[in-house]
Amino acid sequence: MVEPNPVFTACPFSNAVIAGLRDIAMQRFGYDAIRAEEISVAADQAKLVDGQSRRVTLRGGSVLDYDRLVLAPGIAIRWDVLPGYDEVAAAMMPHAWLAGEQTLLLRRQLEAMPDGGTVVIAAPANPFRCPPGPYERASLIAYYLKQSKPRSKLIVLDAKDGFSKQRLFQAAWEQLYPGLLEWVSQSNGGKVTSVDAKSRTMVTDFATYKADVANIIPPQQAGTIAAIAGVADQTGWCPIDPSSFESRLQPNVHVIGDAAIAGAMPKSAFAANAQAKVCADAVAALLHGETPQPPKLINTCYSLVAPDYGISIAGVYHIADGRLADVGGAGGVSPLDALPDFRALEASYAEAWFRTIASETFG
Ligand SMILES: Cc1cc2nc3c(=O)[nH]c(=O)nc-3n(C[C@H](O)[C@H](O)[C@H](O)COP(=O)(O)OP(=O)(O)OC[C@H]3O[C@@H](n4cnc5c(N)ncnc54)[C@H](O)[C@@H]3O)c2cc1C
């Protein structure tokens, strides 16, 4: 396994860090348990992939040969598409879409903001990492403001007219954060077309918004190594064969997680984990000269609307017409009319899910 960072900082539950409900230490994991499984971990970055000679060159200069290569590079921010938003601007208007320093920066800005301030979140068009993520973030920031800075306002400027678990989120916002949280759809002028970091200003088709704290979640694409390896197409994401997650562009290279175009599956950690298992099974079959069996995959995304208020969406996926599609009637969302006990139970399921996936992955 090649990984440059000695510590992984997980995005799920990082919105709770931003809202001051959780310490970032709880998001951090090392690779010792993986090493203990006798997997050799190269603390280095893949720099080049040569599909012809089946070789990966690392930044440190080592060269690794492969029979099959699995890429799971996550996302890269597209710095070239939103005028005014570059890496320098991100130091003033954090994206906090890669967990770590950016998460803490957004937290500090919220803490420093006076009561009565305006927070703006700009949410991107599809596809992007974690479809419910911007709305969970809005909810938990609203929770923080309601507790600590109740005269403040939160505006979500959206490049879309609809989003994951929308009815559940909006019903909860009406109940918990009336007058505090405003969602502006694309049709109502929500799409941010340019930003000015110095003045913390966002321009949309209809208006200009000035924020005290601005969280810009910009457009994304597959992690940079995907394009270098020749597995990303013109969309910036990676087309795969869903029975094995083998790239449709490069033989013997598999792509899983956010970087892959996985049909109806969202870009989530749960989905990435499910895809990893299917991919491992397929690679084992292929190395034995066998044909991978068509898989069934599942995903569940929990979101917190408040610390004791959880909602979820679940899906089951199979291959239909060469792509991953929903198994009809197999998934669903939390009921719209659930009682507080049910919401509290789902919040505890969310935490249990995170503990389980983290311990399964990092020991
Ligand atoms: C705010 C927020 C909340 C979220 N909440 C949830 C949630 O509740 N539930 C859920 O299921 N998902 C959630 N997600 C989504 C989840 O974080 C991602 O879907 C998941 O991390 C995808 O995993 P991945 O392996 O594709 O990418 P990553 O987790 O980003 O891992 C990619 C790894 O590849 C490494 N890498 C990249 N390039 C190279 C290279 N060239 N050489 C070597 N290593 C490289 C990186 O260092 C990194 O460790 C959330 C995301 C955000 C932003």
pLDDT of res. 3? 98
How far away, in angstroms, is 130 Cα from ligand 1 center? 9
Task: Write out the two tokens for 163.
Answer: 């989003």
Q: Which residues line ligand 1 (CB under 6 A)?
A: 2-5, 8, 11-12, 14-15, 45-46, 72-74, 97, 129-130, 133, 137, 223, 225, 257-259, 267-270, 272, 301-302
**Residue 204 pLDDT > 90, yes or no?**
yes
CB contact at 8 A, 314 and 331: yes
**Amino acid residing at 241:** D
Long-range contacts of residues 55-61, Cβ cutoff 8 Å, at least 24 apart: 56/2, 58/2, 59/4
Model pTM score: 0.98
Strand partners, 223: none
How far away, in angstroms, is 39 Cα from ligand 1 center? 20
In testing the pocket of ligand 1, which one of 129, 216, 298 has its CB within 8 Å of the most ligand atoms?
A: 129
Q: Which DSSP state fits 20?
A: T
**Residue 234 pLDDT > 90, yes or no?**
yes
Compute the average pLDDT of residues 208-233.
Answer: 98
pLDDT in tens, 49-105: 999 999 999 999 999 999 999 999 999 999 989 999 999 999 999 999 999 999 999
How far away, in angstroms, is 95 Cα from ligand 1 center? 14
**Residue 352 pLDDT > 90, yes or no?**
yes
**Residue 152 pLDDT > 90, yes or no?**
yes
Compute the average pLDDT of residues 32-60.
Answer: 97
Task: Write out the two tokens for 161.
Answer: 């007219």
Q: Specify the residue for token string 């703006």.
A: 120
CB contact at 8 A, 85 and 195: yes
How far away, in angstroms, is 128 Cα from ligand 1 center? 12
Strand partners, 210: 201
How far away, in angstroms, is 101 Cα from ligand 1 center? 15
Strand partners, 50: 55
pLDDT in tens, 104-121: 999 999 999 999 999 999
How far away, in angstroms, is 195 Cα from ligand 1 center? 26
In testing the pocket of ligand 1, which one of 24, 268, 299, 357 has its CB within 8 Å of the most ligand atoms?
A: 268
Long-range contacts of residues 281-284, Cβ cutoff 8 Å, at least 24 apart: 282/243, 282/244, 282/245, 282/246, 282/254, 283/68, 283/70, 283/244, 283/254
CB contact at 8 A, 121 and 155: yes
pLDDT in tens, 304-327: 999 999 999 999 999 999 999 999
Average pLDDT over the chain, rounded to an integer: 98
Strand arrangement, sheet containing 208-210: 192-196, 201-204, 208-210
Strand partners, 312: 302
Radius of gyration of the chain (CA): 21
In testing the pocket of ligand 1, which one of 245, 258, 270 has its CB within 8 Å of the most ligand atoms?
A: 258
How far away, in angstroms, is 140 Cα from ligand 1 center? 21
pLDDT of res. 80? 86
pLDDT of res. 358? 98
Give, using CA atoms, the residue closest to atom 3 of ligand 1: 12
